[in-house]
A = this chain, B = another copy of it.
C-alpha cells in the first residue's frame, strides 16, 4: 500500500521541534511505501483552512534536512486551536481535508494540549471507521509530559539555561558589592527547567544558591530570610525562580500584577515572578538587586543545543514514523531511559489518553526546599551532553526556510 502522510507542529516553539520534523521527513523519504509527504501550516488550523504543502521538493537537497535540525522555532508554524469535546463541523472539515488529500497518517508534534487534539481526532476517526492513523510526537521545554522519561526540546533548553546561568553568575560577581540576581525561568506548574539551573554549580561552585520551583509552596518572608542567611556565606547570590511559583493557597505570586487574561486552553497568562522578587528584595533588604527574565530565548536559542537532545528529537520522530507504519493510532512516541550510567534510551509508545492534558511535575522527594536533590542531578546530567551542530554563514546563522 502507498501511504500519504501529513505532519503538523503545535504549541510553543522549542529549539528541537524542527529536529523531530526532520526525523519524520527523513524516514518518509527513505521509505518506498510513502507517496505524498504533506506539511500543514499552523497545525490543525492549517488542516481546517486547507493550507497543506508538499514537503518532498524542499528536501531533495539533503542539506536542508540538516539545516532544519538547527533551525529555531517551528518551520511549519504553530496554532493553539482546541477542539471541542463533542465532534462538530470543525471535526467534519478536518476529516474532509484528510479525505480530499487521501491522508493515511497524521503526525502531530506538540505538548500536552496538542496531544488533546491527537486524542480527540483519533477517537473521532475510529468512530467514523476511517483508517486515518493519528500519532502524537512529544515536544516541550517544560518536560511536563507523563509516560516519557523526558521530552524532546527539554535537554536543549536545560543546556541553554544552565550555560547562561554560569555566565550570569560570573557577571554578577564582577563587583565587590553584595548583590542578588534573580533569574526567572519558564514553567507554570512544573519546575524541571528551573531545576536544571543546578547544573551550573558544576562550573560556578555555588550559584544558583537558591532555587524556587512551582512544586514547593512559596513563602515570601521565608524566602527573604533565606536570602539574608545566604549572605552570611555568599556575597553575590543568584536565585533561579520558576515563573509559576505559588503561595501555599496555590495562587501565582505574579497574579496580583497581571491582567487575568487567559489563553485558549484556559491557562492564566502569567509572568513577572522575578520582577516581584527583585522589588521585594530591594525594599526589604536594600542590597543591589537585578532580575533577568530569560523569556523566549530559553526555547528558541538553537545556537546552543544539546547534541543528545537534538539526536533524540530526530530519533523520536523516526520512531513515531515506524509506529505508524505498524498500524498504530492514538499513541504517542515516548523515550524510556533504560540505563543512566552509561546513559541509554529506547523508543516506545504510550496511549495518548495517558498524556493528553496531563502534567508531570517534579517529584516532591527530588526537591529540598530551595534546592534539588542528587536524584535530580543524576536525571539531568545526561540530557545536556554534547553540542549540536549549528551553521553560520558570514558570521550569522544559516537556517532552513520554506520561503
Identify which of residues 76-103 in chain A touch chain B, using a CB-to-CB cut-off of 8 Å. 77-80
Query: Judging by beta carbons under 8 Å apart, are B78 and A175 in contact?
Result: yes
CB of A132, distance to nearest CB on chain B (Å): 24
Q: Is the interface of A mostly helix, strand, loop or mixed?
A: mixed
Query: Judging by beta carbons under 8 Å apart, are B297 and A78 in contact?
Result: no
Query: Judging by beta carbons under 8 Å apart, are A162 and B42 in contact?
Result: no
CB of A18, distance to nearest CB on chain B (Å): 10
Cα(A395)–Cα(B202), bound, Å:
11
Residue of B nearest to A15 (CB): B167
Query: Judging by beta carbons under 8 Å apart, are A167 and B205 in contact?
Result: no
A73 an interface residue at 8 Å Cβ cutoff? yes
Cα(A296)–Cα(B78), bound, Å:
30
Identify which of residues 56-85 in chain A touch chain B, using a CB-to-CB cut-off of 8 Å. 71-74, 77-80
Question: Which residues does chain B contribute within 8 Å of A166, judged by CB atoms?
Answer: 72, 396-397, 399
CB of A384, distance to nearest CB on chain B (Å): 4
Query: Judging by beta carbons under 8 Å apart, are B174 and A73 in contact?
Result: yes
Instruction: Of the listed stretches A212-220, A302-310, A355-363, A364-372, name the one at the interface; the rest are far from the partner chain.
Output: A302-310
Query: Judging by beta carbons under 8 Å apart, are B396 and A387 in contact?
Result: no
Query: Judging by beta carbons under 8 Å apart, are A171 and B72 in contact?
Result: yes
A299 an interface residue at 8 Å Cβ cutoff? yes
Question: Which residues does chain B contribute within 8 Å of A73, judged by CB atoms?
Answer: 167, 170-171, 173-174
Identify which of residues 260-298 in chain A touch chain B, using a CB-to-CB cut-off of 8 Å. 290, 292-293, 295-297
CB of A193, distance to nearest CB on chain B (Å): 16
CB of A15, distance to nearest CB on chain B (Å): 8
Query: Judging by beta carbons under 8 Å apart, are B176 and A42 in contact?
Result: yes
Count of interface residues, chain A, beta-carbon cutoff 8 Å: 58
Query: Judging by beta carbons under 8 Å apart, are A168 and B297 in contact?
Result: yes
CB of A208, distance to nearest CB on chain B (Å): 14
Question: Which residues does chain B contribute within 8 Å of A301, judged by CB atoms?
Answer: 164, 167
A300 an interface residue at 8 Å Cβ cutoff? yes
Residues 2-43 of chain A, each 1 if its beta carbon lies under 8 Å from chain B, else 0? 000000000011000000000000000000000000000010
Known: A77-B176, A399-B166. A394 touches B171 (CB 8 A): no
Query: Judging by beta carbons under 8 Å apart, are B167 and A297 in contact?
Result: yes
Residue of B nearest to A308 (CB): B395
Query: Judging by beta carbons under 8 Å apart, are A392 and B387 in contact?
Result: yes
Query: Judging by beta carbons under 8 Å apart, are A167 and B203 in contact?
Result: no
Query: Judging by beta carbons under 8 Å apart, are B78 and A300 in contact?
Result: no
Residues 155-187 of chain A, each 1 if its beta carbon lies under 8 Å from chain B, else 0? 000010011101110111111100000000000
Cα(A45)–Cα(B290), bound, Å:
23
Query: Judging by beta carbons under 8 Å apart, are A395 and B200 in contact?
Result: no
A199 an interface residue at 8 Å Cβ cutoff? yes
CB of A16, distance to nearest CB on chain B (Å): 13
Query: Judging by beta carbons under 8 Å apart, are A163 and B297 in contact?
Result: no
A348 an interface residue at 8 Å Cβ cutoff? no
CB of A312, distance to nearest CB on chain B (Å): 14
Residue among A162, A301, A302 with most chain B CB within 10 A: A301
Identify which of residues 329-387 in chain A touch chain B, using a CB-to-CB cut-off of 8 Å. 381, 384-387
Residue among A78, A166, A200, A293 with most chain B CB within 10 A: A166
Cα(A300)–Cα(B174), bound, Å:
11
